[in-house]
Structure 1
Amino acid sequence: MKILALETSTEFCSVALSLDGTVSGQEILAGRNHSEMILPMVQKFLAEAELALQQLDGIAFGAGPGSFTGLRIACGVAQGLAYATGLPVAAISTLEAVAQQTDAEKVIVALDARMGELYYAAYQKSASADWTIINPPALCLPQQAPAVSGNGWHGCGSGFDVYPDLSQLYREHIQQIHYELHPRAHEVAQLALPKFRDGACVDPAHAMPVYIRNKVALKENER
Structure 2
Amino acid sequence: MSHYFLALDASSSACSAALLRRDAEHSECMARFELTPRGHTRRLLPMVDVVLADAQLTPGQLDAIAYGRGPGAFTGLRIAAGAAQGLAFGLDRPLLGISTLEALALQAHRRYHLRHVITALDARMGEVYAATWHCLNDTLRRHGDEAVLAPEAVTLPDDETDLVGVGSGFTLWDHFSTELQAGMTQHLTDLEPRAEEMAWLAARDFDAGLGQAAHAVQPVYLRNQVAWKKPA
TM-score (norm 2): 0.87
Q: Report how many residues are paired.
A: 214
TM-score (norm 1): 0.91
Partner of residue 41, structure 2: 35
CA distance in 2, matches of 1:105, 1:38: 31
Shift of 1:160: 1.2
Unmatched 5+ stretches in structure 2: 226-232
Give yes or no for contact 1:14–1:27 (8 Å, CA) kept in 2: yes
Partner of residue 213, structure 2: 203
Shift of 1:65: 0.4
Partner of residue 8, structure 2: 6
Secondary structure of the 2:107 match is: coil
Give yes or no for contact 2:8–2:18 (8 Å, CA) kept in 1: yes
Give yes or no for contact 1:61–1:75 (8 Å, CA) kept in 2: yes
Partner of residue 55, structure 1: 61
CA distance in 1, matches of 2:169, 2:184: 14
Percent of aligned positions that are identical: 40
Partner of residue 144, structure 1: 153
Shift of 1:204: 0.6
One-letter amino acid of the counterpart of residue 180, structure 2 = Y
CA distance in 2, matches of 1:11, 1:104: 24
Give yes or no for contact 1:9–1:68 (8 Å, CA) kept in 2: yes
Unmatched 5+ stretches in structure 1: 216-223
Alignment of 1:124-143 (within 5 A): 124-125=134-135, 129-143=138-152
CA distance in 2, matches of 1:72, 1:176: 32
> Which structure: greater helix fraction?
2
One-letter amino acid of the counterpart of residue 8, structure 2 = L
Partner of residue 219, structure 1: none
One-letter amino acid of the counterpart of residue 46, structure 1 = L
Give yes or no for contact 1:68–1:211 (8 Å, CA) kept in 2: yes
Mean alpha-carbon deviation: is it higher for 179-188 or for 147-156? 147-156
Shift of 1:167: 6.8
CA distance in 1, matches of 2:10, 2:170: 21
CA 15–46 in structure 1, closer or farther in 2 if over 3 Å, else same: same
Mean alpha-carbon deviation: is it higher for 183-192 or for 129-138? 129-138
